[in-house]
Amino acid sequence: MNIKRLILAILAGWVVIFATDYLVHELWLGALYAATKPLWRPESDMPTYFCWLLVAQFLIVTTFVIVWAKGFAGRSIGDAVCFGLLMGVFQQTWAIILFAVMPLPAELAIKWFLAGLVQAVLLGIATFLVYKPAAPSAP
């Protein structure tokens, strides 16, 4: 495993997730969150919990990149897109589960699911572009 590239891919992936989370949750879903305000923590509490969001993003990206590096590195960009899509489906099932157990609008659950798929595909592409397997050592 190429540790230097692994760390760079994790950092690049975290930037992708952090930036797209802002676009998705602040810009695209902001009105839906406002319409369902009783379901969420007060905005004044969010700075207290923001570090937990960063930890979760880091764990998702780190797991994604390590799985790619251990089993898929060196393949094509098409494989990276497919890997991202499959990992996205795996990871986004929480949106379906939350819809089943909480009084969420279907529109919100669907948008969470779709946004997560797009984010995972982008993460797959970023990981493909940054992570390169270590060159085999000479005998």
Evaluate whether 106 touches 86 at the Cβ level (below 8 Å): no
Q: What is the pTM of this model?
A: 0.91
The mean per-residue pLDDT over the stretch 5-32 comes to 97
Evaluate whether 6 touches 65 at the Cβ level (below 8 Å): yes
Query: Average pLDDT over the chain, rounded to whole?
Result: 95
- Lowest mean pLDDT segment, chosen from 5-14, 31-40, 72-81, 129-138: 129-138
pLDDT band at 132 (very low <50, low <70, confident <90, very high): confident
The sign of the torsion formed by the CA atoms of 123, 129, 135, 136 equals positive
| Share above pLDDT 70 across residues of the chain, in percent, rounded to a whole number | 96
Contacts for 29 with CB less than 8 Å, ≥ 6 apart: 108, 111, 112, 115
d(CA 49, CA 121): 27
